[in-house]
Amino acid sequence: MFQMYVVTDKNNIVILNGTQESFRCRQRCINSDGSKVPSFRFVSYRSMMKEARKNKQKVYKGFKYDTIAKL
């Protein structure tokens, strides 16, 4: 299990726990109509802590991100 820090569209930070295959599947995924799924915006731990303190952003913790790759 990896712990990744992701910035949302509203500039909040979400901590996701998941596998490497799950994150890779999300980054390369295509919808059924052929459009690309928006990629996660990953940030490092250090920049996450700095931005959260500076902008007083909310940090949401403890979400499990586990997807099944489509073959």
> 18 vs 21, 34, 44, CA distance in Å?
8, 26, 16
pLDDT in tens, 37-60: 777 888 999 988 888 888 777 788
- Answer yes or no: is 70 within a domain: no
Residue 6 belongs to what domain range? 2-65
Rounded Cα distance between 42 and 38, Å, is 12
- Answer yes or no: is 71 within a domain: no
- Answer yes or no: is 29 within a domain: yes
- Answer yes or no: is 47 within a domain: yes
- Answer yes or no: is 53 within a domain: yes
Name which of 17, 23, 9 is nearest 57 in CA terms: 9
pTM for the predicted model, two decimal places:
0.73
- Answer yes or no: is 10 within a domain: yes
pLDDT value for 44: 93
Domain count, the chain: 1
